[in-house]
Amino acid sequence: MATVNESFFGYGSGPDEEVYGKEQLRAQVERDLAQCDRVSMAIGPGHISGKGEVAWYAGKCTIEATVDDQDMRLEGRITAVLKKDGGRWLFAMIHFAMPSGAQEAGQSWPHAE
């Protein structure tokens, strides 16, 4: 919670994973942790740029978790905006997504069945 600003917002990969503000983020993180036995996230490789007191990041991430005694590995993408606040860089926005399994590489649309 110390790494996000007060007006933080973000989106996860689940249909109900929209958070607006630190309290909703806290509730989302508590839900995530309650539904798994173990979780870790590695970020990168990615690209970062910025101007003045705003920076942005886009890259890949890997989440490893144990849920219901089953290990899983999720390959995703993350974008973020950071804003400098009193000498610290804080997350203002994060979006996490997983590529659609129904959409093959080289195709712009998922395969219709």
Domains of the chain: 4-97 (3.10.450.50)
Residue 61: what pLDDT? 94
* Residue 95 bridge partners (DSSP): 11, 79
Handedness of CA 55, 56, 60, 63 (dihedral sign): positive
C-alpha 70/C-alpha 63 separation (Å) is 14
Contact yes or no for 99/77 (Cβ under 8 A):
yes
Please, what are the averages of pLDDT over each run of 10 residues along the chain (113 residues)? 92 92 93 94 94 97 94 94 94 90 78 67
pTM of the predicted model as reported, rounded to 2 decimal places:
0.82
Residue 112: what pLDDT? 65
